[in-house]
Amino acid sequence: MSVPAFGLGTFRLQGQVVIDSVSTGLELGYRVIDTAQIYENEAEVGQAIAASGIPRDELFITSKIWIANLGKDALIPSLKESLRKLRTDYLDLTLIHWPSPQDQVPVGEFMDALLEAKQLGLTREIGVSNFTVDLMQQAIAAVGADQIATNQIELHPYLQNRKVVAAARDQGIRITSYMTLAYGEVLKDPLIRQIAEQHQATPAQVTLAWAMQLGYAVIPSSTRRENLASNLKARALRLSDEEMAKIAGLERAHRLTSPPGLAPKWD
Q: Residues marked as binding?
A: 97
Strands in 174-178's sheet, in edge-to-edge order, are 8-9, 32-34, 60-65, 91-96, 123-129, 148-154, 174-178, 217-218
Is 39 part of the annotated catalytic residue set? yes
Identity at 119, one-letter amino acid code? Q
- For residue 8, list its beta bridge partners: 33
Residue spans of alpha helices (H) in the chain = 15-28, 42-52, 75-86, 107-119, 133-143, 162-170, 190-199, 203-213, 225-232, 241-248
Task: Report helix, strand or coil for 261.
Answer: coil
Known binding-site residues for substrate equal 97
CB distance 13 to 221 below 8 Å: yes
- 105/212 Cα distance (integer angstroms): 33
Q: Tell me, what DSSP letter sits at residue 4?
A: P
- For residue 34, list its beta bridge partners: 9, 62
Catalytic residue among 39, 158, 178, 216: 39
Burial of 192 (0-12, 13-18, 19+ CB in 10 A): buried
CB distance 70 to 37 below 8 Å: no
- 170/186 Cα distance (integer angstroms): 28
Q: Among all residues, which ones are annotated catalytic?
A: 39
